[in-house]
Amino acid sequence: MAAKGTQKKQAQPPGLRELLRIPPGSDVDLASCDPAGAPAGPRNKKDGLADIARMGEHLADLQERLYAASAGGDRRRLLLVLQGMDTSGKGGVVKHVIGALNPAGCRIRSFKAPTEEERGQPFLWRITRALPKPGEIGIFDRSHYEDVLIARVRELAPRSVVDRRYAQINCFEQILADDGTTVVKIFLHISHEQQRRRLLKRLDNPHKHWKFNTGDIEERALWPAYQEAYELALERCSTRTAPWYVVPSDRKWYRNWAISTLLLEHLTALDPQYPEADFDVSACRRHLLEGD
Amino acid sequence: MAAKGTQKKQAQPPGLRELLRIPPGSDVDLASCDPAGAPAGPRNKKDGLADIARMGEHLADLQERLYAASAGGDRRRLLLVLQGMDTSGKGGVVKHVIGALNPAGCRIRSFKAPTEEERGQPFLWRITRALPKPGEIGIFDRSHYEDVLIARVRELAPRSVVDRRYAQINCFEQILADDGTTVVKIFLHISHEQQRRRLLKRLDNPHKHWKFNTGDIEERALWPAYQEAYELALERCSTRTAPWYVVPSDRKWYRNWAISTLLLEHLTALDPQYPEADFDVSACRRHLLEGD
């Protein structure tokens, strides 16, 4: 029986986290996940956009709390890892979802092909240097997963080296979690046909040509190998500590809705609190009122 | 006489740049600048906010062009330097003005008291490491100017060392400009009384206590010395290459309006262009249409 003064929480539908998460240890078959699907949430674009706008305010509020909490010694932070094929919308998520947050509290890093200096270091070196600080939300547009994706498909490292990286990544992410980082890894799942449409659209618009790279077409030819490499990464690195989420991304509004929702669920679970004053508030008031 | 087919540009009112700029070589008397003034622009908050929203879209468009241009080899970028007393609104500008931009193209750095590692290096070392890359908009919340402001007032370095920094800063900013960086330096000018009100407001709201620092009261007691240090910095470092702008900041909406406008004027003057395709567009189209 609920004690007087307490209230039972309203029964909540299962969160999107549960629906989109790759259960640790399970097999992954991307072909069976519909990139145009909508496993939960609004059924049309109009409702989706309205929901995204509403969540934006909520996200900004939680972000401020997280940032404020760090001033009181709370080491917690969040790292959003975005992975997906070209045109899957990693940049769009940064613009439309992260754009709702206070940029002062975001640490965004886009990982390209490693520089010569980076190649001279262990693969997690450049990642470590880009991690969010306490109170921040870090966003990785591509990440250390490239070292088991393009590195595997393009054989940029010996197979044995790539093969041992999965366990290294799990160990690395466990260390981050132990230090207070919530790691949210998102695979933006698009179809081969949707990529064709988006690449053609870039070609049709001269203002989008700068986003186009002839290398994109070569990578596209390796689509099956990439899907397989993603399946392996998702199978081997979806852990209890740092699970992978598969977000259907053929429809941009649904992708943005789902990622806003995942962010909101994780930040809500963190429940960051404004720190209490560690100084004498009334003495400060007096000082200010009595001074010049 | 205008040649056929050309049109005379409509006469434009002098830009805010001209109105707010400290003319190089001039004396600066901050007491004569009204922190609650509105030298140009909307006369009330409602119009101001509408104007800011309108400019936000325009700014985002120019930012995308600047970013895109860098993909075509354009090295240009912009660095916004925000300086002002506590509560003058540096963080508010990042949230409300920079918040309208794509966070992927912004490089924001907030400078606190230097770390031990930073103190072991020349004062411009940490600044150099935080500079925007081509195509980016860099935002400094405090900057190298702290080394002639708090460093002067608090005597953190010998007077002779502080005195030679002004010329060093001018030299440094000239190097940035020569490499394609538009340096926009903004002093957020608030009154002593307005600071009192804002500090009291922070004390009144437990959710704002984390922003409060008892050190702020000690710094406030040195107000006249800080104003003098600012006057010196503005006099000595407002150059043709990198002028200082004084923005009346007692009213938050006016401050945000003025800084949006200054950004817009500078980006419009840069007139960044989408780069032309350096690949065969129709061959790529064909490839995509014929492939799987």
Model confidence at A210: pLDDT above 50? yes
Q: Collect all residues of chain B within an 8 Å Cβ-Cβ radius of residue A284.
A: 199, 203, 212, 214, 217
Nearby residues of B229 by Cβ (< 8 Å), 6 or more positions away: B148, B149, B152, B153
The count of other CB atoms within 10 Å of the CB of residue A209 is: 21
| Residues B192, A289: C-beta atoms closer than 8 Å | no
Q: Are B128 and B107 in contact (CB under 8 A)?
A: no
Q: What is the DSSP letter of B12?
A: P
| Residues B276, A206: C-beta atoms closer than 8 Å | yes
Q: Are A42 and A257 in contact (CB under 8 A)?
A: yes
Q: Are A37 and A259 in contact (CB under 8 A)?
A: no
For the ranges A6-20, A261-275, B16-30, B49-63, the lowest mean pLDDT is seen at A6-20
As a whole number of angstroms, the distance between CA B249 and CA B247 comes to: 6
As a whole number of angstroms, the distance between CA A20 and CA B10 comes to: 56
Report the chain B residue with the minimal C-alpha distance to residue A277: B209
| Residues B103, A108: C-beta atoms closer than 8 Å | yes
| Residues B108, A104: C-beta atoms closer than 8 Å | yes
Q: What percent of chain A has pLDDT over 70?
A: 95
Smallest CA-to-CA distance from B181 within B80, B31, B276 is with B80
Smallest CA-to-CA distance from A226 within A171, A187, A173 is with A187
ipTM score for this prediction? 0.92
Instruction: Select the residue of B110, B210, B223 nearest A275 (Cβ to Cβ).
Output: B210
A–B CB contacts, 8 A cutoff, strictly below: 120
Instruction: Select the residue of B207, B281, B288 nearest A274 (Cβ to Cβ).
Output: B207
Q: What is the mean pLDDT of residues A240-266?
A: 98
Per-position pLDDT tens, chain B of length 292: 344 444 444 555 679 999 999 999 999 999 999 999 999 999 999 999 999 999 999 999 999 999 999 999 999 999 999 999 999 999 999 999 999 999 999 999 999 999 999 999 999 999 999 999 999 999 999 999 999 999 999 999 999 999 999 999 999 999 999 999 999 999 999 999 999 999 999 999 999 999 999 999 999 999 999 999 999 999 999 999 999 999 999 999 999 999 999 999 999 999 999 999 999 999 999 999 998 6
Three-class secondary structure of residue B83 per DSSP: strand
| Residues B103, A104: C-beta atoms closer than 8 Å | no
Q: Give residue B11's pLDDT.
A: 52
Return phi, psi of residue A64, to 5°: -65, -40
Q: Are B189 and B83 in contact (CB under 8 A)?
A: no
| Residues A291, B71: C-beta atoms closer than 8 Å | no
Which of A216, A288, A290 is most worth mutating to test chain B (most B CB atoms within 10 A of its CB)? A288
Q: Give residue A13's pLDDT.
A: 61
| Residues A108, B110: C-beta atoms closer than 8 Å | no
Q: Collect all residues of chain B within an 8 Å Cβ-Cβ radius of residue A207.
A: 68, 274
CA distance to A201, B135, B241, per residue, from B123 (Å): 48, 26, 21
Instruction: Select the residue of B68, B192, B217 nearest A210 (Cβ to Cβ).
Output: B68
What residue spans of chain B are helical by DSSP H? 16-20, 45-71, 90-96, 116-119, 125-128, 150-153, 159-178, 192-204, 214-221, 223-237, 252-270, 281-290
Instruction: Select the residue of A94, A209, A212 nearest B104 (Cβ to Cβ).
Output: A94
Smallest CA-to-CA distance from B187 within B265, B90, B98 is with B90
CA distance to A115, A249, A264, per residue, from A56 (Å): 35, 19, 9
| Residues A206, B91: C-beta atoms closer than 8 Å | no
Q: Collect all residues of chain B within an 8 Å Cβ-Cβ radius of residue A103.
A: 94-95, 98-99, 101, 103, 106, 108
Structure tokens at A80: 């959003």
Q: Collect all residues of chain B within an 8 Å Cβ-Cβ radius of residue A129.
A: none
| Residues B71, A210: C-beta atoms closer than 8 Å | yes
Instruction: Select the residue of A210, A214, A281 nearest B274 (Cβ to Cβ).
Output: A210
As a whole number of angstroms, the distance between CA A228 and CA B256 comes to: 49
Q: Collect all residues of chain B within an 8 Å Cβ-Cβ radius of residue A276.
A: 206, 209
Instruction: Select the residue of B103, B220, B288 nearest A103 (Cβ to Cβ).
Output: B103
For chain A, the 3-state helix, strand and coil shares in percent, each to the nearest 5, are: 55, 10, 35
Q: Give residue A8's pLDDT.
A: 47
| Residues B279, A94: C-beta atoms closer than 8 Å | no
Q: What is the mean pLDDT of residues A228-233?
A: 98
As a whole number of angstroms, the distance between CA B167 and CA A147 comes to: 46
Model confidence at A243: pLDDT above 60? yes
CA distance to B163, B166, B170, per residue, from B155 (Å): 11, 16, 21
Q: Give residue B257's pLDDT.
A: 98
Structure-token match 């001279």, residue found: A120
Q: What is the mean pLDDT of residues A81-100?
A: 98
Three-class secondary structure of residue B188 per DSSP: strand
Q: Indicate the average pLDDT of chain A.
A: 95
Instruction: Select the residue of A141, A196, A284 nearest B214 (Cβ to Cβ).
Output: A284
Name the minimum distance, in Å, from the CA of A1 to any CA of chain B. 35
Q: Give residue A11's pLDDT.
A: 53
Smallest CA-to-CA distance from A277 within B140, B248, B209 is with B209
